[in-house]
Amino acid sequence: MTKGIGLMGRYLVIALVALTSVAFAEAPQTLRVDYYHTGSAESEIFSLDRVVIEPRRFSGNLAQPIDRTLRGKYVFEIINAETGLITWSRSFSSIYGEWETTGEAQQVIRTFHESLRFPMPLTDFDVVLKKRGAKNEFTEIWKVRIDPDDSLVHRESAKYAENVVAIEHNGDSATKVDVLLLGDGYTSDEAEEFFQKARDLTELLFATPPFSERRSDFNIWALAPVAAESGVSRPSTGIYRDSPVGATYDAFRSERYMLTYDNREWRRIASSVPYDVVEILTNSETYGGGGIYGLYSTAAANSEWAGYVFIHEFGHHFAGLADEYYTSPVAYESPVEIVEPYEPNITALLDPDNLKWRHLVNNETPLPTPWPKDEYESFSRASQARRARLREENVAESQMNDLFHDEQDFVEGLFSVAPHVSDVGAFEGALYQSKGYFRPEQNCIMFTRTADFCRVCSGAIEDVIDEYTKPASAAQR
């Protein structure tokens, strides 16, 4: 049992695990297909690693077997080998899918480990993986047949089940969104610190619309495998940690971007928990995080900006929201051709009459929508240069926090007197590009370090909550 949990906490964990097990009694097993994704910017191949039966029965919404929102770069389909019918599908994005857009992918070939999870079929089936093409249409890129009764299908044990704490439990996982807050870099002496942080961030999430109105649709679980040493890796400053989940700063050589590349290990840890989505909380103070749709999100739990990063990155991972900022440096290459993005909160405005959020735009609001873009860019680029100098000097994190406060104070002052400050429209500047992409509102938590989602992002989040919690017919109404 995790150190730092009191007697009542132990009984709560045991009771909730037992309750969940009863609720899943009739649910199918959870099957996981692990595979390797290898390639470069020019080509890619897939190879099967292993098939795994996870210890917990499937906790997803069986009433919605087919993905309706299709928010990711990829989609996988489970197809009955005899009938040819699709029995399950889910869209997702991946580290590889991001990496292939970086400059490094033009130079080297790399391999990433990935997984697909779904309710276990009873007979042979095909896994079909599809990827978006240049015009965002899905094209098959890999297919493999699986026999679920094969003797080589691996069976995992619930190794970490007794370490799981229920932060919030609102009912049967089959009709709830199960969120796993997975701690990394916490020693046994820091366990209660992690669980308190998990509780604090949970409250912050549910203080933020639309999550505040949908709190009863969520279960929140927390788990922090014991680390031998406090903290996680930050290679650009010479800090290396062999942490259980493997989270690290400097992903794609971006100092604030945190990922773990150890997919097999974090999946092994998480399989003890009924989870739909995962946010990795790192025992670190330096500002940073990351989020990939359908994979996981990360946040530096001890940062002064932990709450903002937690919710912003959760928006990426949970709802497939795109970044709306564009003045911060990123590793991704600029697109060769501007096409309509598949993310729900960004548009190329190629056809204003069919704007994806046109129902929220007043007839009087011009498209594109004017905003103080030049003033914002001038200040923001100067601030980014200041930020780069501070990172090079490896100053105390408090100085970086002061910079972030200055940035937000400027933005809020500038926007408060700007035209169309309360309107939904099409504001140019988004998806890391100054021109060619547009965001729905002047400000949003996906754009700056503000506290709220815009109306388009809020609606997109609610659509995903519905996919996890309602029958398909009810979610489509």
Structure confidence by residue, pLDDT tens digits, 41-81: 999 999 999 999 999 999 999 999 999 999 999 999 999 99
The pLDDT of 261-268, averaged and rounded, is 98
The SS3 call for residue 474 is helix
Structure confidence by residue, pLDDT tens digits, 407-464: 999 999 999 999 999 999 999 999 999 999 999 999 999 999 999 999 999 999 999 9
Confidence at 475, pLDDT banded by 50, 70, 90: low
Closest CA to 142 of 132, 128, 121, 162: 128
d(CA 451, CA 468): 25
Phi, psi of 430 (to 5 degrees): -175, 170
Any long-range contacts for 171-175 (C-beta under 8 Å, 24+ apart)? 171/216, 171/219, 172/23, 173/20, 173/23, 173/24, 173/59, 173/219, 173/274, 174/23, 174/24, 174/27, 174/59, 174/60, 174/61, 174/62, 175/61, 175/63, 175/469, 175/470
Res 332: pLDDT: 79
Q: How far apart are the first and last CA of the chain?
A: 45
What structural domains does the chain harbor? 30-156 (2.60.40.3250), 161-323 (3.40.390.10), 352-451 (no CATH)
Res 335: pLDDT: 81
Give the H or E element holding residue 457: helix 455-469
Confidence at 16, pLDDT banded by 50, 70, 90: very low
Res 469: pLDDT: 96
Q: Are 280 and 262 in contact (CB under 8 A)?
A: no
d(CA 257, CA 327): 15
Choose the weakest-confidence range: 126-140, 328-342, 371-385. 328-342
